[in-house]
C-alpha cells in the first residue's frame, strides 16, 4: 500500500525540449528557451520560473 501512496504523489516532469514544443506554453516559447536549463521540470516549476521572470524590475 505504501508504494501506491508514493506513486500518487509523484508529479510528471518534462524535458526542456518537450516543454518548448507544448502547445499550452507556446506563447512563452522564446522566454522559456532562454530561462530553462537542459533538465526536467514540473509544470508548476515552469510556471514559477516564468512568473518570477515577469515580476523582475526593468532598469
What's the pTM value of the predicted model, to 2 decimals?
0.74
Q: pLDDT band for 27, please (50, 70, 90 cuts).
A: confident
Q: Predicted confidence band at 45 (pLDDT cuts at 50, 70, 90)?
A: very high
Predicted confidence (pLDDT) at residue 32 exceeds the cutoff of 70: yes
| pLDDT given for residue 28 in this prediction | 81
| Measured distance CA(32)–CA(14) in Å, rounded | 13
**Percentage of residues of the chain with pLDDT beyond 90:** 64
Cα–Cα distances in angstroms (integers) from residue 22 to residues 7, 27, 41, in the given order: 24, 10, 13
CA–CA separation, 16 vs 28, rounded Å?
13
Amino acid at each position: 500500500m505504501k508504494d501506491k501512496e508514493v506513486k500518487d504523489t509523484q508529479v510528471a516532469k518534462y524535458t526542456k525540449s518537450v516543454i518548448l514544443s507544448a502547445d499550452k506554453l507556446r506563447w512563452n516559447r522564446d522566454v522559456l528557451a532562454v530561462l530553462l536549463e537542459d533538465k526536467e521540470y514540473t509544470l508548476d516549476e515552469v510556471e514559477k520560473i516564468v512568473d518570477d521572470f515577469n515580476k523582475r524590475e526593468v532598469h
